[in-house]
Amino acid sequence: MASIRTLILLVAVLLPLQRIQAQNMIANAGFTDVNICTEYSYPCAPSAWESVAPNTSKLMYTADKGNRYITLTLYSSIDPDFRTYSQTQLLCPLQKGQQYLLKIYLLMDEDRPYPLPAVLFDTVAVYRWTPRPLQVVPTFYFSRTTDKHAENKWTVLEKTFTAPASANHLVIGNFDTSTANYPNKADYYLSIDSISLTPLSGQLCTSAAVTKKILYAQHDRHHYISPNNDGEPQPVAPTLQTVFFNKGACDTLLLKNDFFVPGTRYINSAYSSQLEKILQLQGDNVRNKIKLTGYVFRHTNEKYNEILGQDRAKAVASYLVYQKGYSFDDFIIAGIGKCAPGGDSTERVEFISCQPAGEVTVPVTHTDTLLIPDLLFEVNSHQLNHQMLGALDSLIGRIPAGDHISVTVTGHTDNTGTPVYNQELSMRRAFTVSDYIREKDPAIHITEVTGMGESVPVADNNTAAGRRKNRRVEIVIYHLSQ
């Protein structure tokens, strides 16, 4: 009789758990199923889950036997702008106005004032080229007082909410873009053991099993192709700022969709000063046509996205025609839209101008080159090593000032890491050095700051000594005829 009562009690406990599991809208909620990525043929992520910045920052996944979880970087003391997020497609769409229960099991260090993650529900997957704070407002934050409690060794975040809008995707991570909330400047990592999202009424949709099968069949985790340059796999430059300018053979300007004040044809004032500095080309000096391409990813209809992207590109052209003296004949206008985007899914208008180079009016008599070695920076960072500032000051002291001197600053890296990450790091290091030079001696005339990534090695990258030589910032001093 006692064994029967025990069996009845066990069934009574397990049935609700099975019901909750059956209603879970999250595929692979406990990260137990391992994805073997196609790029490297090894376990690199849990099935159905991926990083928001897959090109440059893979998902941190622990897949030991009986102990599987993901880890997110909430704050990095080495690079405060570094953030990682994890995302998945829901098995069933979130229905606006319906109530849901979200429950997350975390491994946290309660001895420190840990930042809590936030959750974003969106209609599409979110992709970025670099692991930076997402400049979007999450659907909700968790409260320490009402949403958090302890359960064994885990911290549980539990929240009942009403869906403010329909959605298909979930993104989790730290959406706090400030650094003031981390006074200790310590590293904060968050380990997630499991996550469940259950509707408070009704069962899962009939398509849940099919959606799960599709998610489990997706094995790419490191390479995404951006729809650029007639479909060729050319990466879009990282959008480190709202307006990003990359000087090269062509000038590229990326305008996010807040270029205009909503509902008007007026430019957002936040762009005014940046555009005046960046857009040096005047309307009457256009020699080659300028390509304007609008990218839109928000809607399920790919053709609709393409038309909307083209309309946004036309809006930018209209502004330049009526406000800056350009002609509509100066532009090639196109729109690109994808239902399931690869690469950066930030909506934008891309302005590409390839104009003939201007003539050099002042001849250069000779040049000098100063090398800033890698050890003057913190490891794998653009921050200067404060213990080496004396050496940097000594180098800068060798740069003459005057109207007959111009200076360029160029960053370089070795080939460790991805080309996109190396390009970004070299650019950031170059700007760090140029800013430091201007701070020390404002009279020094810096004409160009750029980053070449790993593309211009001066030594063999197969040796440690060679890689050390390739990690450098070059300061070229041009002596002009007086």
Select from 263, 290, 102 the least CA-distant residue to 198: 102
Same fold, 20-217 and 364-480: no
d(CA 328, CA 78): 47
pLDDT in the model for residue 197:
95
Which parts of the chain sit beneath pLDDT 70?
A: 1-22, 38-43, 55-56, 64-66, 108-113, 179-185, 221-252, 256-288, 298-300, 338-346, 353-364, 482
Which is it for strands 290-296 and 331-337: parallel, antiparallel or unpaired?
parallel
Per-domain residue ranges of the chain: 20-217, 243-353, 364-480
Instruction: Report yes or no: 299 and 166 within 8 Å, Cβ to Cβ.
Output: no
Select from 194, 199, 195 the least CA-distant residue to 92: 199
d(CA 343, CA 320): 28
- Give the chain as a 3 state SS string: CHHHHHHHHHHHHHHHHHHHHHHCCCCCCCCCCEEECCCCCCEEEECCEEECCCCCCCCEEEEECCEEEEEEEEECCCCCCCCCCEEEEEEEEECCCCEEEEEEEEECCCCCCCCCCEEEEECCCCCCCCCCCCCCCCCEECCCCCCEEEECCEEEEEEEEECCCCEEEEEEECCCCCCCCCCCCCCEEEEEEEEEEEECCCCCCCCHHHHHHHHHHCCCCCCCCCCCCCCCCCCCCCCCCCEEEEECCCEEEEEECCCECCCCCCECHHHHHHHHHHCCCCHHHCCCCEEEEEEECCCCCHHHHHHHHHHHHHHHHHHHHHHHCCCHHHEEEEEEECCCCCCCCCCEEEEEECCCCCCCCCCEEEEEEEEEEHHHECCCCCCECHHHHHHHHHHHCCCCCCCCEEEEEEEECCCCCCHHHHHHHHHHHHHHHHHHHHHHCCCCCEEEEEECCCCCCCCCCCCHHHHHHHCEEEEEEEEECC
Architecture of domain 243-353: 2-Layer Sandwich (3.30)
Instruction: Report yes or no: 84 and 51 within 8 Å, Cβ to Cβ.
Output: yes
Residue that the structure tokens 């429950």 belong to: 103
Token pair recorded at residue 2: 């006692």
Total-model pTM: 0.52
Residue that the structure tokens 């213990």 belong to: 387
Which is it for strands 167-173 and 86-94: parallel, antiparallel or unpaired?
antiparallel
Please name the fold of domain 364-480.
60s Ribosomal Protein L30; Chain: A; (3.30.1330)
pLDDT in the model for residue 100:
95
CATH tag, 20-217: 2.60.120.260
Residue that the structure tokens 């890296």 belong to: 413
Cα–Cα distances in angstroms (integers) from residue 415 to residues 59, 86, 188, 365, 454, in the given order = 21, 27, 28, 34, 5
d(CA 428, CA 435): 10
Q: How far is CA 23 from the centre of its chain?
A: 32
pLDDT in the model for residue 127:
81
Instruction: Report yes or no: 375 and 384 within 8 Å, Cβ to Cβ.
Output: no
> Long-range CB contacts (< 8 A, 24+ apart) of 280-288?
281/251, 281/353, 281/355, 282/324, 282/325, 283/320, 283/324, 283/325, 283/326, 283/327, 283/330, 284/325, 285/355, 286/326, 286/327, 286/330, 286/353, 286/355, 287/355, 287/356, 288/353, 288/354, 288/355, 288/356
Name residue 295's beta-bridge partners: 336, 348
Q: Distance between the two ends of the chain, CA-based, in angstroms?
A: 106
**What pLDDT digit, counting tens, does each position of 8-52 carry?**
434 433 333 343 455 899 999 999 888 877 555 566 788 899 888
The percentage of the chain sitting over the pLDDT mark of 90, rounded to a whole number, equals 17
Instruction: Report yes or no: 69 and 153 within 8 Å, Cβ to Cβ.
Output: no
d(CA 337, CA 302): 6
pLDDT in the model for residue 14:
39
Instruction: Report yes or no: 292 and 349 within 8 Å, Cβ to Cβ.
Output: yes
pLDDT in the model for residue 182:
66
Token pair recorded at residue 313: 């590109």
pLDDT in the model for residue 170:
95
**What pLDDT digit, counting tens, does each position of 420-438 carry?**
788 878 888 988 898 899 8
d(CA 389, CA 384): 8
